[in-house]
Structure 1
Amino acid sequence: MAVPFISEVKRTHTCGQLTAANIGEEVVLFGWVHNRRDHGGAVFIDLRDREGLTQVVFEPDSKEAHDIAGTLRLEFCVGIKGKVLSRGKNVNPKMKTGEIEVKASDLTIFNRSEPTPFLIEDNVDTSEEKRLSHRYLDLRRGPLQRTLMTRSKMNALTRQYMNGNNFLELETPFMGKYTPGGARNFLVPSRLNPGKFYALAESPQLYKQLFMVAGFDRYFQIVKCFRDEDLRLDRQPEFTQIDVEMSFVTQDDIFTIIEGLLKKLWGEVLGLDIPTPFQRMDFYESMAKYGNDKPDLRFGLEHIVLTDLIREHGAAGGVPMMWDAVQEKGIVKAMVVPAEKALSRAESDKLEEFAKQAGAKGLARAKVGEGGEWTQSPLSKTITPALRLAINQACNAKTGDLLLFQFGRESLVHTVMANLRVHVAKKLGLIPEYGSGGQWKFLWVVNPPLFEYDDETNTWAAAHHAFTRPHDEDVPFLLTDPGRVKCHRYDVVLNGFEIGGGSIRLHDPKVQSEVFQALGIHEEEARTKFGFLLDALKFGAPPHGGIALGMDRLVMLLTGAESLRDVIPFPKTKTGTDTMTGAPGDVDEKQLRELHVRSVPLPAK
C-alpha cells in the first residue's frame, strides 16, 4: 500500500540535517534528485533541498521503492521514507551528512522533470542570460539559495536590532508625486485622473521626514525603491534599502546606531567582531588621497596632489602640459606603483589604455632610476632637475618605482585616478577581483560640500538634496560663496562601496529659504515641488536626521557575490529587462486608452 506522503506522513528532517546521532531512526525526507547512480542492484541518489544533500540507497529487498527508483532522473521532486544507517568507512567529508545514508523503504514521485537547460550545480558552466531566463531553476543552486537565506537572516536581524532600539517599522507609499530633479523616476499613469502620473518612490525621504514632524521619533523600514537609471555592477532599477530617521539627534547619534547594526550583522552572519567606532575621513581628504568619496582602504596606492608644487615651479619647471592644467584651474595628481610590485613595460603601457577608457586623454608616467633620474618617459627630456627632485620627494619615490600622472579638469582627474588606483590594486593582487579578501575596512566620509557646481548650466545644484543642514559657521556664505559651504551629510563606506548615506535635515525655514535661493529655486517652484513638506516644517518640526543603507550591497559584500544580480531573487539584466517573464512587455490598446496614454513608435533609423 502506498504511503500517504504529505497528507499523513510528514517530513521529519531536512536533507542537510542528519548526522551519526540519527543512526537507527526512521526518517522522511522531501526534495529533488541531485544525482543518481545505479550500481547494478542498489540505486543511489543524492536528495537535495535548500539545507543540503543526503545520500539515499534503494535496495532490491524494498521492491516497490527500488523499482520506482529505477525510473528516477535528475530534478524529479520526490519523497522518501527510510532508516538512517552509518556509511562506515565510506564517509564523505565534503557533505554535512557524509557520515550517514538513508536506506529507503518507500518512495513517491511528486513530480517529474524534463531535462533542465543547465545542470543544477554550484559551479554551473552556462551563460548568465540562460540562467536568468530560467531563474526558478538557477535559484535551486546551492550558492544562490545560501545567499538568499543569508539575506533573510539579515532582514530578521535588522528588525530585531531596530525594535530593540525603540524604532517603529512604518510603511510609506510606493506611488507619490513626481518632482523633477534627482534620480529619474518611473512614472505610473492614473486611470482615475486622466493625464496625471504617479512617480514610483526613489526613496521614502520626504515621507520619513513627515513621520518626524508627526512625532514618531524613531522610524525604520526595509523598503523597495525605484530609479530609472543606467544599470551597472552595483545598481538595479528596483532595490532595497534599510531606511532610518531619528528626531532630536546629532550626527554622532546616528553613527552609533548604524555602527551597532552593522556590527550585529557581521557578528551574527560571519562571526566577526567589527571594531567600532568606524574611522572618519573628511570629504576633501578622501578626494585628494583617493579621487572619490568611497575609498577602498584595504590597500595603499594613495594619490599625491602636486598642484601647488607645479604652481610653485611655474612654466620654468619644464612640463608645459602640467603648468597649462594649473593655469586653467585644473589639478595635477600622481600615484606610485612601488618597485617591489613592478609592472612590465607592456603592462604599464596597457594602463594608458585603461586611463583612456575612463575618460583621460592619456597617462603620463615615469620610472625612477638610480639617483632619482626618470626613465621610460618623454617627461624626462624637458623636466628640470629641481622639479623632478621635488616630485620624487613629494611622492617619496624610490629607485624602481613607477610614477603615474594625471592632470587637467579636477573632476576628471579624480575619476581617472580613482579608477586607476583600484585597477592597479587588482592587477597587483592587493585585492581580489570581487569579494572582501578577508578584510573589512569601514569608514565614515563626512563634511562634504552642500552644493556642487554644474559646468553645463553654470549654476549650483544640491550635492545630495535641498533639505541637508549646512554647518552653522557656513550659513553666512549660502548666498555669497556657496562653494564654501559644508554640510552635515555622511556616507558609510566599505571596501570601496558606498553602503549607506544620509544627513541631518534642515528644519529652520529661514535657512531653508536661503538654500533654495542659492540653488536658484524660487518660492513658487519650491512650493510646487515640496509644498507639503514645507508646510509641515512650519508646525513645530523637531531637529532630525537619518540615513539609508543599501541592503542589496550589504548582502553582496557579506556573501562575496560578484554582482547585485546574484543577491536579488529576480533581478533585471543590464538593459533593465526580465528575460524570464519578458518584462517590460507590450500593453494592448484598450488598456492604454483607459489610462489615457498613447504609445508612440520610435522613428526608423
Structure 2
Amino acid sequence: MAESMKGLHRTHRCTEVSNQNIGETVTVMGWVQKRRNLGSLIFIDLRDRSGLLQVVFDEPQVGSEGFEKAGNLRSEFVVAVTGVVQKRSAAVNESLKTGDIEVIANDIRILSEAETPPFPIEENCQTKEELRLKYRYLDLRRPDLQRNIMMKSKVSMLLRNFMEKEGFLEIETPILMKSTPEGARDYLVPSRVHPGSFYALPQSPQLYKQLLMCSGYDRYFQIARCFRDEDLRADRQPEFTQADMELSFVDVDDVIDVNERLLAYVFKEAIGVDVPLPIPRMTWQEAMDRFGSDKPDTRFGMELVDVSETVAGCGFGVFTGALENGGSVRGINAKGQGAMPRKKIDKLVSFAKDYGAKGLAYLAVNEDGTYKSSFAKFMTEEELAALVEKMGGEPGDLLLFAADKNKVVWDVLGALRLELARQLELLDKNRYNFLWVTEFPLLEWSDEENRFMAMHHPFTMPMEEDWDKIDSDPGAVRAKAYDIVLNGTELGGGSVRIHQDDIQEKMLEVLGFTKEQAHEQFGFLLDAFKYGVPPHAGLAYGLDRMVMLMMQCDSIRDVIAFPKVKDASCLMSHAPSPVDEKQLEELGIEVSEQEETEAE
C-alpha cells in the first residue's frame, strides 16, 4: 500500500549526493531500478532524472519493518529513503557518478507500487519503437531519453539568454490565425461562434513577426509551436518547435553575423563544441553543382563532376540523348570501390531509380588500369581515358554516372553520395560541419500547379541585380535567402523580406494572385506596409532538429516528449479520434464517410 509524504522532504537528487556528504543524513526519492537480496543485506539502485544511487538495507539499521518493505520492492516502485552516506563497502563502480558511495538506509516509505513494465527501463532499450511510444510515459524514464529532453530545455534557456543580451524581445504570436494556404497544408480549427469559418494553426509566425517589425519592435524572438499537415520523415513532425527571430534595419550579413555568434555560444555551452567562425558560405548553384543538394553534407568528399563536355559526341546514346534534351551528364568517384561486386552495384542502380533515374552508368578502374563498365563498348579508348581523367579516376576507383535533366541528375547523385557514405561509414557524428547556403532561386516551377511557386515564401526579397528578369526569365531571379546547414541537415532558414509595396505586389502577381486574391489572403500585411515599414529580415531554426544533431540521434522523435508517428497519430493517447456528435452539431459540421479507393 502506498504511503504518504507527510513530514518528508527530499534533500538531494540521486547524483547530487557525493563523497562530500559522507557521514550526513540525506533523504532521496525515486524509482527502483534494480533490487539485489543477499539475505542479510538488500541493495537497490535508486533512479531519478539525475542518475543512479546505491541504497543498502541492513536490518539492524532500518528495523524489521523497513527490512521487510525493502524485501518487497520491485522494479519501478517509487520510494523515499532516509539514510547516512558512507564510502562503498564493496568495489567502486567507475561507470557511475555515485560509484564510490552508498546510502545506509534507516527509513523507507513506499510511495507508489508498480506493475511489471512492458519493456525494460534502461539505456538504449532495443524494444520496438511502436511499443515504447504506446507507453511513452515509461519510455521517457530511460536515461538516454531523459538526457535528450533535458538538453532541449538547456538549449532553449541558452537561446533565450543569448537573445536577451543581443536586445531581442520575446513576444508571443497567435496560435489561432487566418489560413494562408501558400506552402504546406494548414491544420484547420472550426469556429463555433462564426459557423462555417475556420482558424488555421500557424505553419510559422511569419506574417505576425513581419507586423511586429512594422510596429517598431526591431528585434523579435520566440520559441514558437508550429503545425504543418504534411507527410512525415525522420526529421519531420506535424507539430514542432521553432526558434524564430526577425530583425529590422538589417541585410543578409547582419543576420548571418548574429546567428553565427548564437550558434557558437549555444554549441559551446550545451555540448562543448567549438564552432569555427566565420561559417563557410556557398551559393545554391555551387551547392547543387558540387553536391547535388541544397543542404550538402561536407564531412566527406565524393563531389559531383560535370562531364557533359567530355562525353559530348561520344557513341553512348544515354549520355548524348540527355545532352540533346537540355540535360547534363555528371558523375561521382567512389574512391577505392572499384572491386565492388556486381550485386552491390545493381542495388545502387535500383536505389538511383527511386530518385528518378532511368538507370546508372558505372565504370570501375581495375588495378591494372583496364576498365570494367556498363557502357565501355559504346566509347573509344581515348574517350574512356578522357572521362576517367576528368573524374580524377585512379586504379581501384568506381565511377558512377547519371544522365538526365539537371534536377534529376542532382537528386540522384546527391542521394547516391550520401548512401555510399553511409555504407562506407564516412559520416562521423562527432564532426559538426556548418555551412551557409545563399542566393537560392526566388521561384521554382510546379508542374502540379502549372505555375511558379515561391521557393521560400511570397515575402522573400529578390536580389536587386536580378529583379529586371522577373517578367522575361522569372526562374533566373535569385533571392536574398539563406539556409544554415549542419552535416547535411537544414538547421534553419530565412531571408531578407520585401518591404516595398511595388515589389510585393509584383511578386504576388508572378505567383498567380490577382490584386483581389492578394488582399483577401494577405490584406492585413499589405495594409500595414502603407504606414512605414523598415527593411527587415529573419531566420528560424528547427529546435528539435538542432537538439537531434547535438545528441547524435537518428530521429527527432527521440528529442520530443510526446511525438507523433508517420501517419501523424499518437500511439499513446490515440489522437486523432472521433468526437461526440453534439460537439459537431455545435460547430455546424457533418462528417461524411469517404469511400476508400485502392492506392495506385
Query: TM-score band, normalised by the shorter chain?
Result: over 0.9
- Conservation of the 8 A alpha-carbon contact between 2:202 and 2:226: yes
Please identify, of 453-462 and 101-110, the stretch whose mean Cα deviation from structure 2 is larger: 453-462
1:358 corresponds, among 336, 340, 355, to 355
**Counterpart of 2:320?**
323
**RMSD, aligned CA:** 1.6
Please identify, of 218-227 and 123-132, the stretch whose mean Cα deviation from structure 2 is larger: 123-132
Residues 1:67 and 1:251: Cα distance change in structure 2 (over 3 Å):
same
1:417 aligns with 2:416: no
- Conservation of the 8 A alpha-carbon contact between 1:372 and 1:389: no
Number of residues paired by the alignment? Answer: 594
SS in 2 for 1:175: coil
1:541 aligns with 2:533: yes
Q: Structure 1 residue 514: deviation in Å?
A: 2.2
What do residues 448-485 of structure 1 show as CA deviations (whole Å, max 9, x unaligned)? Answer: 11111223444222111111111111111111111221
What do residues 531-577 of structure 1 show as CA deviations (whole Å, max 9, x unaligned)? Answer: 11111111110000000000000010001112011000000011111
What do residues 31-64 of structure 1 show as CA deviations (whole Å, max 9, x unaligned)? Answer: 0000000001111100000001110011111222
**Counterpart of 1:496?**
488
Give runs of aligned pairs for residues 30-45 of structure 1, distance below 5 A.
Answer: 30-45=29-44
Q: For residues 250 and 585 of structure 1, what CA distance do their matches in structure 2 show?
A: 46
Please identify, of 9-18 and 25-34, the stretch whose mean Cα deviation from structure 2 is larger: 9-18
1:478 aligns with 2:470: yes
**Counterpart of 1:167?**
168
Residues 1:604 and 1:156: Cα distance change in structure 2 (over 3 Å):
closer
What do residues 333-369 of structure 1 show as CA deviations (whole Å, max 9, x unaligned)? Answer: 1010112685333322221121123332221111124
Q: Structure 1 residue 370: deviation in Å?
A: 6.3
Give runs of aligned pairs for residues 584-603 of structure 1, distance below 5 A.
Answer: 584-603=576-595
- Conservation of the 8 A alpha-carbon contact between 1:475 and 1:511: no
Q: Tell me, which stretches of 5 or more residues in structure 1 are unaligned?
A: none
- Corresponding letter in the other structure for 2:288: M
Q: Structure 1 residue 390: deviation in Å?
A: 2.6
**Counterpart of 2:83?**
82
Q: Structure 1 residue 88: deviation in Å?
A: 4.2
**Counterpart of 2:401?**
405
Q: For residues 178 and 604 of structure 1, what CA distance do their matches in structure 2 show?
A: 28
Q: Structure 1 residue 263: deviation in Å?
A: 0.8
- TM-score normalised per structure 1: 0.96
SS in 1 for 2:138: helix
2:365 corresponds, among 359, 365, 368, to 368
1:183 aligns with 2:179: no
Q: Structure 1 residue 385: deviation in Å?
A: 3.1
- Conservation of the 8 A alpha-carbon contact between 1:190 and 1:595: yes
Q: For residues 22 and 201 of structure 2, what CA distance do their matches in structure 1 show?
A: 55
What do residues 302-348 of structure 1 show as CA deviations (whole Å, max 9, x unaligned)? Answer: 011223333xx32xx11111111111112211010112685333322
1:288 aligns with 2:289: yes
Residues 1:131 and 1:504: Cα distance change in structure 2 (over 3 Å):
same
**Counterpart of 1:579?**
571
- Corresponding letter in the other structure for 1:210: L
**Counterpart of 1:346?**
343
- Corresponding letter in the other structure for 2:239: E
Give runs of aligned pairs for residues 416-455 of structure 1, distance below 5 A.
Answer: 416-431=412-427, 437-455=429-447
- Conservation of the 8 A alpha-carbon contact between 2:338 and 2:364: no
1:392 aligns with 2:388: yes
**Counterpart of 2:561?**
569
What do residues 370-412 of structure 1 show as CA deviations (whole Å, max 9, x unaligned)? Answer: 685431x231001133432332222111122111011112222
- Conservation of the 8 A alpha-carbon contact between 1:447 and 1:487: yes
- Conservation of the 8 A alpha-carbon contact between 2:159 and 2:262: yes
1:102 aligns with 2:94: no
**Counterpart of 2:153?**
152
SS in 2 for 1:448: coil
- Corresponding letter in the other structure for 2:114: S
Residues 1:341 and 1:388: Cα distance change in structure 2 (over 3 Å):
closer
Q: Structure 1 residue 125: deviation in Å?
A: 2.6
Please identify, of 244-253 and 120-129, the stretch whose mean Cα deviation from structure 2 is larger: 120-129
- Conservation of the 8 A alpha-carbon contact between 2:338 and 2:396: no
Q: For residues 340 and 348 of structure 1, what CA distance do their matches in structure 2 show?
A: 10
**Counterpart of 1:462?**
454
Q: For residues 367 and 548 of structure 2, what CA distance do their matches in structure 1 show?
A: 46
- Conservation of the 8 A alpha-carbon contact between 1:213 and 1:540: yes
Q: For residues 270 and 81 of structure 2, what CA distance do their matches in structure 1 show?
A: 32
Identity of aligned residues (%): 47
SS in 2 for 1:350: helix
Q: For residues 152 and 407 of structure 1, what CA distance do their matches in structure 2 show?
A: 47
Q: For residues 287 and 281 of structure 2, what CA distance do their matches in structure 1 show?
A: 10
- Corresponding letter in the other structure for 2:257: T
**Counterpart of 1:113?**
114
- TM-score normalised per structure 2: 0.96
Q: For residues 387 and 338 of structure 2, what CA distance do their matches in structure 1 show?
A: 20
Residues 1:136 and 1:456: Cα distance change in structure 2 (over 3 Å):
closer
- Conservation of the 8 A alpha-carbon contact between 1:17 and 1:96: no
Q: Structure 1 residue 175: deviation in Å?
A: 1.2
- Corresponding letter in the other structure for 2:301: G
2:545 corresponds, among 541, 553, 577, to 553
Residues 1:341 and 1:572: Cα distance change in structure 2 (over 3 Å):
farther
Please identify, of 246-255 and 352-361, the stretch whose mean Cα deviation from structure 2 is larger: 352-361
SS in 2 for 1:55: strand
**Counterpart of 1:300?**
301
- Conservation of the 8 A alpha-carbon contact between 2:337 and 2:398: no
1:529 aligns with 2:521: yes
- Conservation of the 8 A alpha-carbon contact between 2:29 and 2:80: yes
Residues 1:231 and 1:604: Cα distance change in structure 2 (over 3 Å):
closer
Q: For residues 17 and 399 of structure 1, what CA distance do their matches in structure 2 show?
A: 59
Q: For residues 371 and 72 of structure 1, what CA distance do their matches in structure 2 show?
A: 70
Q: For residues 259 and 561 of structure 2, what CA distance do their matches in structure 1 show?
A: 26
Q: Structure 1 residue 604: deviation in Å?
A: 4.8
**Counterpart of 1:383?**
379
SS in 1 for 2:16: coil
- Conservation of the 8 A alpha-carbon contact between 2:338 and 2:366: no
**Counterpart of 2:269?**
268
Q: For residues 75 and 290 of structure 2, what CA distance do their matches in structure 1 show?
A: 54
- Conservation of the 8 A alpha-carbon contact between 2:88 and 2:101: yes
Residues 1:93 and 1:342: Cα distance change in structure 2 (over 3 Å):
farther
Q: For residues 405 and 9 of structure 2, what CA distance do their matches in structure 1 show?
A: 69
Q: For residues 474 and 584 of structure 2, what CA distance do their matches in structure 1 show?
A: 46
**Counterpart of 1:50?**
49
Q: For residues 302 and 486 of structure 1, what CA distance do their matches in structure 2 show?
A: 24
1:335 corresponds, among 307, 321, 332, to 332
- Conservation of the 8 A alpha-carbon contact between 1:479 and 1:517: no
Give runs of aligned pairs for residues 136-151 of structure 1, distance below 5 A.
Answer: 136-151=137-152
- Corresponding letter in the other structure for 2:471: L
Q: For residues 4 and 101 of structure 2, what CA distance do their matches in structure 1 show?
A: 23
- Conservation of the 8 A alpha-carbon contact between 1:5 and 1:79: no
Q: Structure 1 residue 176: deviation in Å?
A: 0.8
- Corresponding letter in the other structure for 1:424: L
